[in-house]
Chain A
Amino acid sequence: KAGVTQTPRYLIKTRGQQVTLSCSPISGHRSVSWYQQTPGQGLQFLFEYFSETQRNKGNFPGRFSGRQFSNSRSEMNVSTLELGDSALYLCASSQGTSNEQFFGPGTRLTVL
């Protein structure tokens, strides 16, 4: 089975711009979660989608949003980028019925 894929792997944006990141889960997985990882804050949960519905949400501002499509693929959008949004954004998929999540390689976002 193919693993979780994320595109793009690297991205450079400037302040004020918006960005969309994509995640393709493992085939058959209906849950997709997003995390932000920074050296200072560590790994922080952004949100989870299950069957196209947001099921859980972390403590991030409304600039961070996401969606999930009928094929379980998910996108994450960040609007009005700030320098502090520079991070590794990780996507994880699971069947939705256990605590075992499968993470992708991440998208490294740099905001200048």
Chain B
Amino acid sequence: LAKTTQPISMDSYEGQEVNITCSHNNIATNDYITWYQQFPSQGPRFIIQGYKTKVTNEVASLFIPADRKSSTLSLPRVSLSDTAVYYCLVGSYGNNRLAFGKGNQVVVIP
């Protein structure tokens, strides 16, 4: 299972765009990059998944450079309710053995 490295925590002001980075130097050819969000005392929630270049959905964008050794989750105009732990995971498509790592605690400040 490819390992991921994320900053432990970061703060951001309400209304700003937040970019959360993740390193996955040993990503395999058939690995996808997936991001989850977790609020306290709740299960993680799927945000977005991608393989290369850029993926966008209604809540976030995922940027993946050509070498795929890193990725950036972008949250536009964050609100206080976006305060959560964000996990970056890599794994082959359909592999449900998710390795979550420590995640990145994002705190949105008023």
Q: Do A and B bind each other?
A: yes
Residue numbers of A with Cβ under 8 A of B are: 4, 31, 33, 35, 42-45, 48, 50, 55-56, 58, 88, 90-92, 94, 96-106, 108
6 interchain residue pairs of minimum CB distance: A103-B43, A43-B100, A56-B97, A100-B46, A99-B34, A48-B96
Identity of the chain B residue whose Cβ is nearest the Cβ of A90 in the assembled complex: B43
Identity of the chain A residue whose Cβ is nearest the Cβ of B99 in the assembled complex: A45
Taking the complex as formed, is B110 at the interface, i.e. its CB lies under 8 A from any CB of chain A?
A: no
B41, B43, B94: the one contacting A98 at CB < 8 Å is B94
CB distance from A64 to the nearest CB of B (A): 15
CB distance from A69 to the nearest CB of B (A): 18
Cβ–Cβ < 8 Å partners of B94 in chain A:
96-99
Cα of A35 to Cα of B101 in the assembled complex, Å = 13
Known: A100-B49, A104-B43. A45 touches B102 (CB 8 A): no
Cα of A94 to Cα of B43 in the assembled complex, Å = 14
Interface residues in B48-75 (C-beta closer than 8 Å to A): 49
Cβ–Cβ < 8 Å partners of A108 in chain B:
41
Q: DSSP class of A's interface residues: helix, strand, loop or mixed?
A: strand
Taking the complex as formed, is B81 at the interface, i.e. its CB lies under 8 A from any CB of chain A?
A: no
B91, B96, B102: the one contacting A33 at CB < 8 Å is B96
Identity of the chain B residue whose Cβ is nearest the Cβ of A102 in the assembled complex: B46
Cα of A109 to Cα of B44 in the assembled complex, Å = 18
Identity of the chain B residue whose Cβ is nearest the Cβ of A32 in the assembled complex: B96
Cβ–Cβ < 8 Å partners of B93 in chain A:
98-99
Identity of the chain B residue whose Cβ is nearest the Cβ of A94 in the assembled complex: B96
Cβ–Cβ < 8 Å partners of A99 in chain B:
32, 34, 49, 89, 91, 93-96, 98
CB distance from B64 to the nearest CB of A (A): 14
**Is there contact, CB below 8 Å, between B97 and A103?**
no
* Most A Cβ at <10 Å: residue of B97, B101, B103: B97
Taking the complex as formed, is B77 at the interface, i.e. its CB lies under 8 A from any CB of chain A?
A: no
B32, B44, B49, B96: the one contacting A43 at CB < 8 Å is B44
Cβ–Cβ < 8 Å partners of B45 in chain A:
103
**Is there contact, CB below 8 Å, between B96 and A105?**
no
Known: A33-B96, A99-B95. A105 touches B49 (CB 8 A): no
